[in-house]
Structure 1
Amino acid sequence: MIKIVRVRLAKPLLKLSFLGALLAFSTPAAAWWEYGHETVARIALEEASPAARAEVRRMLRQGALLDTPTCPIATVGQAAEWADCVRAMGDRFSYTAPWHYQNVNVCRPFDQSSACANGNCVSAQVERNFRLLKDRALPRRERLQALLFLIHFAGDLHQPLHAGDRGDLGGNRFRAYYSRIQSNLHAIWDGYLAERSISTPPADAHGLLSAFGRDERRGMAQGSVEDWARESWEVSRRFAYGGVLADPCGEVLSEPPVISQEQIRDLIPVVRTQITRGGLRLARLLDEALG
């Protein structure tokens, strides 16, 4: 059962025109825009142990080791987005493209292995980079990259359309309207809906955390990576596709569906919960690897 926390709405955010262009070209590897990834990372640092938090900050001061000056890691936001930023560097990091998602069909029984050949999926890379980060015998540069990938992929795993789809590239081929804005399902969950949800008061990392008590947070951090993937897959089926189709596996009509303001209000707590889950679970992984 998906836990839903009801929150008070803010007025819709005004969008700059260039954000519309970003939505039009959204791909399965550009999850949650910068805001979502940064919020997951900030929740994780808030909830991690003091020892793990201090180690993360110490490692982030070693950005020169990466030799990626166009993709700095001087801030938490930059660190959370590094894995997307370096993809623009061409051959050097192009092999990481399939690590950001796993297109597990929501209309069939959950089968993570079907989308994780040779470890090329987000779940496998969360586990792999956790192991690398934990291995203190590895070179500093390799562990630093593992930290940055882990921060980013923990966020990706909790974007439902990175965990489950209908054979439509994570909803990129599913046309839909966000109120009056024509886009696609993936871009709506990555961008407009994510930004609206995180910025709804109480906003940002502290605001999202305030909706859950200490025992609730501890419970949300439990489980395996596969458990988290199955949960995100179910959110994709039930809310991403089920939010625009009476049957999430039913026929897609030629006319793009419209996600109304009323539906948006219902989806906001779902997205806020997913972001919070991602941050709490990342905090647990950081504690186990660095604490």
Structure 2
Amino acid sequence: MPFLRRSALALFTCLALAPVAQAWGPLGHSVVADLAQRHLSPAAAAEVEHLLAAEHTKSLADIASWADEIRNDPAQDALWKQTRALHYVDFTSGDCNYTPPRDCKDGQCVVAGIDHYVKVLGDKSQPDAARLEALKFVVHFIGDEHQPLHGGSRDDKGGNTYQVQFDGKGTNLHSVWDSGLLKTRGLDWKTYANELDARGAVTLPPAIPPQDNAYAQWAEESCEISRGIYPDGHKIDQAYVDRELPVAELRLREAGRRLAEVLNLALAKG
């Protein structure tokens, strides 16, 4: 086999095997979805069950990572390309003050994505298929927005190009926050959700004046948190895990409660 062809094949293989960053990863997204489902109103729970029937499930956790999974489905390639910029928001000025014309041009960010799909979900004149798709996006995007590096203000693609050493291996900071930190607990998503829910109702941060857009505030919170999570010397040690894991778990709890509140409002009767 010619050298160039062998090199191209090797490069393709490495890229194919490389982990793809996903906010929280399946573990975190399932935890957020399950926490939310435990606190749905009867009306919202009934509507969720009705919509999920088409997926042959009753669990929000089962569809929580769908918005990431479509990137690997050729049949969903157009939808992935249409929505992939809705998983995050870049605070391009370097500060954490959300300014739509600057940070969300043409509605291409997670703040606008949540707003759009919540409206579709709550519109009972829409076909069930469209509302089910919207439910999948809402569940996922609210989880995404609470991962601090999906609302960053640094020029490193949300920590994807910030290399670190973690557990004796090279990776990037985004991957650590997607799943590495959470996996240090060694829990499956149901057990993890049980443990977090047992801590009781989470106290949410107060509204940030003059911000009147809740979805924007959640992104701003992530941005502020992201500023303090870059490790000294690009190394993730046990002290870092002990310090930052509670931050990640708090964001999971906040996302679960907020997702429940959004669904309760969007799916209220009438």
TM-score class, shorter? 0.7 to 0.9
Distance, in Å, in 1 between the alignment partners of 2:227 and 2:93 is: 5
Residue 168 (structure 2) aligns with: 180
| Distance in structure 1 (CA, Å) of the matches to 2:137 and 2:54 | 15
Residue 197 of structure 2 is aligned to residue 209 of structure 1: yes
Q: 1:104 aligns with which of 88, 91, 96?
A: 91
Shift of 1:118: 1.0
Matches within 5 A, 1:255-274: 257-274=234-251
Cα 1:74–1:209 shift into 2, 3 Å:
closer
1:80 is the counterpart of 2:64: yes
The correspondence of residues 57-136 of structure 1 with structure 2, limited to 5 A, is 57-63=49-55, 75-88=59-72, 89=74, 90-105=77-92, 107-113=94-100, 114-136=102-124
**CA–CA separation in structure 2 for the residues paired with 1:74 and 1:282:** 16
> SS of the counterpart of 2:124?
coil
Q: Which has the larger radius of gyration?
A: 2
CA 1:25–1:211 in structure 2 vs 1: closer, same or farther (change >3 Å)? same
Residue 125 of structure 1 contacts residue 153 of structure 1 at CA under 8 Å; is this kept in 2? yes
> In 2, are the aligned partners of 1:165 and 1:171 still within 8 Å (CA)?
no
How far apart, CA to CA, are the structure 2 residues paired with 1:106 and 1:163? 12
**Measured at CA, do residues 268 and 77 of structure 1 come closer, stay the same or move farther in structure 2, by a change above 3 Å?**
same
Matched, 1:288 2:265: yes
Give the drift of 1:198: 8.0
Map 1:186-265; keep pairs closer than 5 Å: 186-196=174-184, 199=187, 203-212=191-200, 214=201, 217=202, 219-220=203-204, 223=207, 224-238=214-228, 240-241=229-230, 244-245=231-232, 257-265=234-242
2:183 maps to amino acid = E
Percent identity between the aligned chains? Answer: 33
Quick one: distance in 2 between partners of 1:209 and 1:23?
A: 35
In structure 2, how many angstroms separate the alpha carbons of the residues matched to 1:171 and 1:203?
Answer: 28
Alpha-carbon deviations, 1:112-144, whole Å to 9, x = none?
Answer: 422211111111111111111111111111111
Partner of 1:137: 125
Deviation at 1:51, TM superposition (A): 1.9
In 1: Cα distance, 2:206 partner to 2:194 partner = 20
Q: Which residue of 1 aligns with 2:256?
A: 279
Q: Give unpaired runs (5+ residues) of structure 1.
A: 1-20, 64-71, 246-255
Out of 148, 151, 174, the position equivalent to 2:139 is 151
Residue 209 of structure 1: CA displacement? Answer: 2.1
Q: Distance in 1 between matches of 2:99 and 2:184?
A: 30
Mean Cα deviation higher: 89-98 or 41-50: 89-98
Q: Secondary structure at the match of 1:170?
A: coil
| Alpha-carbon distance between aligned partners in 1 of 2:242 and 2:249, rounded to the nearest angstrom | 12
Structure 1 residues 124 and 74 mapped into 2: Cα distance closer, same or farther (>3 Å)?
Answer: same
Count how many residue pairs are aligned between Structure 1 and Structure 2.
Answer: 245
Q: 1:197 to 1:23 in 2, by over 3 A?
A: farther
2:6 aligned partner: none
CA contact (8 A) 2:48 2:58 kept: no
Which secondary structure does the structure 1 equivalent of 2:46 belong to?
Answer: helix
The CA deviation at 1:229 is 1.0
SS at match of 2:227: helix
1:192 Cα deviation after fit: 0.8
Q: Counterpart amino acid of 1:46?
A: R
Contact 1:198 1:272 in 2 (8 A): no
Distance 2:197 2:153 in 1: 28
Q: Is the 8 A contact 1:102 1:121 kept in 2?
A: yes
Mapped partners of 2:256, 2:28: distance in 1? 10
Query: AA paired with 1:45?
Result: Q
Give the CA RMSD over aligned residues. 2.7
Partner of 1:6: none
Kindly provide the amino acid, as one letter, of the partner of residue 166 in structure 1. R
CA distance in 1, matches of 2:16, 2:49: 30
| TM-score normalised by the chain length of structure 2 | 0.82
